[in-house]
Amino acid sequence: MAIIKSLNGKTPKIGANCFLAETAVIIGDVEIGDNCSIWYNAVLRGDVHYIRIGNNSNVQDGAIIHGTYKKSPTNIGNFVTIAHGATIHGCTIHDNVEVGMRAIVLDDAEIESDVIIGAGAVVTKGTKVEGGAVYAGIPARKIKELSPQLRDGELRRIAQAYSMYADWYKEPEQ
């Protein structure tokens, strides 16, 4: 079972049909929607500000989600993939987004819907990322429009695949 820790009177709330890996850490003011998966060594630390995650989203191995004290909470929408080793800090990520492996999204950034943030990209503080596009680099810049094939074949496919993978790990009901 994941480490789920209350802190400062706040207890994480986990939606229905979620998979929480045994080494995931979820602390404090965190709310996770339905059909989500939080993978091995992911840390969601809602100690200094809140973290909200919508439905059908996944936070993959080694990802870190945090905020800035009394200033920048973290809001993550539906069908969002936070890939391996990504850092999400005090920002807003709307629906149908993939944040690539080892990417970083910093305080007060806003990622609109239907976006891919490339692996290793850095979305700097306060950046507004336009929906329907692919962003990459340091700092992250728009590199192309998101085609319907990428949107449907990549973003939704990965989010749905992680729901399937999570089912493989869930304990059978007794």
This prediction has a pTM of: 0.95
Average pLDDT for 10-33:
98
Whether the CB-CB separation of 58 and 44 falls below 8 Å is answered with no
d(C-alpha 111, C-alpha 40), whole Å: 25
Average pLDDT for 66-72:
97
DSSP for residue 85: T
What residue spans define the domains of the chain? 3-169
The token duo for 163 is 């729901």
Q: Which residue has the higher pLDDT, 171 or 7?
A: 7
Q: Say if residue 93's pLDDT is above 70.
A: yes
- What pLDDT score was predicted for residue 173? 54
Q: Mind listing the pLDDT tens digit for each residue in 123-137? A: 999 999 999 999 999
Q: Kindly state the percentage of the chain with pLDDT values over 90.
A: 87
Domain 3-169 belongs in CATH node 2.160.10.10: yes
d(C-alpha 88, C-alpha 12), whole Å: 18
d(C-alpha 128, C-alpha 49), whole Å: 21
Map tokens 């990802």 to a residue. Answer: 63
- What pLDDT score was predicted for residue 149? 85
The token duo for 24 is 């995931």
- What pLDDT score was predicted for residue 60? 98
- What 121-130 contacts at long range (C-beta under 8 Å, 24+ apart), as own/partner pairs, is 123/91
- What pLDDT score was predicted for residue 151? 82
Q: Mind listing the pLDDT tens digit for each residue in 162-173? A: 999 999 998 665
Separation in Å, CA 91 to CA 3, 97, 121: 24, 13, 15
Q: Say if residue 95's pLDDT is above 60.
A: yes
Q: Say if residue 152's pLDDT is above 90.
A: no
